[in-house]
Amino acid sequence: MDLRTRIAAALKAAMKNKEPERLGTLRLINAAIKDRDIALRGDGAEDGVGDGEVLSILGRMVKQRQESARAYEEGGRLDLAEHERAEIAVIEEFLPRQLNDTEVAAAIDKAIARQEADSIRDMGKVMAALKADYAGRMDFGQVGPMVRQRLAG
């Protein structure tokens, strides 16, 4: 079952079970996906976004909410921070399991070997390979410096 179908089924279940917070978050996910569909349609794409793009959208949504929760905590608004965390929990239901540090290191080594990368100039190829293979499963903001360090060292 693709991600869109899973999200639609969860949306219907949330309506049926009268879960307003969950329903709101699922509607936000649907809206973000539809926005991306519309943007792609303007670029001449026939069909909507695929699962890879949906994973990317969900990853961005989680990152935005983590930043908001941090800002709310710093501002003393724990109620709003808790709301953001609840939304993160709903969004993460649709994301694949995140790789741990050991798995990330192994994935980086594998991508470097597969791309035959030997200098910092090959970083783009390595990052592209990682994004293709591990979309939604690792934080590429943290992985980038790790790849740079391995290629520089």
Cα dihedral 39/41/44/49 (nearest 10): 80
Q: Which residues contact 148 (CB under 8 A, 6 or more apart)?
A: 120, 123
Residue 137 to residue 130: CA distance in whole angstroms: 10
Residue 80 to residue 87: CA distance in whole angstroms: 11
Evaluate whether 127 touches 86 at the Cβ level (below 8 Å): no
Q: What pLDDT, in 10s, does the model give residues 108-143?
A: 999 999 988 888 898 999 999 998 888 778 888 888
**Residue 41: its pLDDT value, please?**
81
Percentage, residues of the chain above pLDDT 70: 96
Class of domain 3-92: mainly alpha
**pLDDT confidence of 46, banded at 50, 70, 90?**
low
**Residue 117: its pLDDT value, please?**
84
The angle subtended at Cα 76 by Cα 64 and Cα 69, nearest 5°, is 15
Decide which of 48 and 144 is more confident.
Answer: 144
Mean pLDDT for the stretch of residues 57-61: 89
Q: What pLDDT, in 10s, does the model give residues 80-92?
A: 999 999 999 999 9
**Residue 3: its pLDDT value, please?**
87
Query: CA Rg, the chain, in Å?
Result: 18
Which string of b and e fits 131-150 if b means at least 16 CB within 10 Å?
Answer: beebbbbbeeeebeeebeeb
Indicate the domain borders of the chain: 3-92, 101-152
Evaluate whether 150 touches 108 at the Cβ level (below 8 Å): yes
Instruction: Please give the CATH number for the structural domain made up of 101-152.
Output: 1.10.10
Cα 123 to chain centroid distance, Å, stands at 21
